[in-house]
Amino acid sequence: MNKILKKRQLTQNIHEYVIDSPEVSRHCLAGQFIILRVDDEGERIPLTICDYDREAGTVTILVQSIGYSTMKLAKLNEGDYIHDFAGPLGNATELEEFANIILVGGGVGSAVIYPQCKQLNRDGRPADIIIGARNKDLLIYEDEFRDNAKDLYVMTDDGSYGEQGFVTTKLKQLLDSGKAYDCVFAVGPMPMMRAVANLTREYGVHTIVSMNSVMVDGTGMCGGCRVTVGGQVKYACVDGPEFDGHLVDFDEAIERSKFYREIEQEHKCKMEG
C-alpha cells in the first residue's frame, strides 16, 4: 500500500499526486513508468513518472480522469492509500547523444517531457520546449517548463492563450526559421505524435515518441502494448515506451488504442451514474 502524500488539481480532470514510494523513487529515471491498482480488484493503470525525490522517497504522477479506473483514483485524497504501485518499468529516455533538442508536449502528454526538461536543465543544456493544449484551462506545468526551458512556446488550439495553433504549427515555424535541432522528443496523443513524425521526416530530424499503448502486465507477457516499429513487433512496456517516431506504425497503433473504448465508455457511464 502506498500513501498519497499530496494531491493537486491542475485542470478540471487532471490531478497531480505525490506518492510515498521509496523503492520506486530510489531506482527510477526520466522516461520510465509505474503501473498502479487503486484497489485489489482494480485494473492496472500505467502512468509515466513525472518527477521523483530520492531523499523524500516520493514519486509524482499525473492522472487524467477519463475512464472508470482513473475516475476511481480521482476520488482518492491526501492520506488515502493506493493498493499497488509497481515500478519503475520500461526504459529511461536517452538524450545524451543529442546537442540541440526540442521537447514537444501535447495536452496531458506534456507531463512526460517534464522530467527530461528538468534533467537537461540540470545538466546545463536546457532545451527549447513547445507545449500545446486545446485551450488555456488545459495547459499544465507552464511555470515549471518556463523555469527549465531555453525558450518556451505555448500553443492553444483556440488561441485562448499563447499562440493559436497545434504544437506542429510552432515546430514547423521553428524548423523553417533554420533552428538546427538534432532531436525532437514528442509526447502526446497518438495523432499528434504521428503529425510530428510526419513533419520532422521532411526535415530529416531524428524524432523520439513515447507510446502509451494499452498495457496489462507491463512485463512483455500479455501482448497488450504491441506496436510495430520498423516492421518489427515491439512491446511498449519492455522495448519502449520510447521509439524512433519515423519507424512507428501509427495507423495500426491508433486502431489498437480504440480496442477497449466501448467497454471503457460503458464503465465510465456507470461511474458517473
Residue 45 contacts ligand NAD per CB under 6 A: no
Closest by CA to 133, choosing from 14, 7, 264, is: 14
- Chosen from ligand NAD, ligand FES, none, partner binding at 184 (C-beta under 5 to 8 Å by type): none
SS3 content of the chain, % helix, strand, coil (to 5): 30, 30, 35
Residue 218 contacts ligand FES per CB under 6 A: yes
Site for ligand NAD (CB under 6 A): which residue of 67, 132, 218, 245?
Answer: 132
Q: What is the gyration radius of the CA atoms in the chain, in angstroms? A: 18
Site for ligand FES (CB under 6 A): which residue of 10, 24, 193, 237?
Answer: 237
d(CA 50, CA 44): 18
Residue 93 contacts ligand NAD per CB under 6 A: no
DSSP 44: P
Residue 141 contacts ligand NAD per CB under 6 A: no
Between the CA of residue 41 and those of 83, 86, 183, 225, what are the distances in Å? 9, 15, 42, 21
Grid coordinates standing for 226? Answer: 504491441
- Chosen from ligand FES, ligand NAD, none, partner binding at 192 (C-beta under 5 to 8 Å by type): ligand NAD
Least Cβ distance, residue 128 to ligand FES (angstroms): 32
Residue 223 contacts ligand NAD per CB under 6 A: no
Residue nearer to ligand FES on the CB measure, 56 or 263: 263
Gap between the terminal Cα atoms of the chain: 28
Which positions lie near ligand FES, rule CB under 6 A?
Answer: 215-218, 220-225, 235, 237
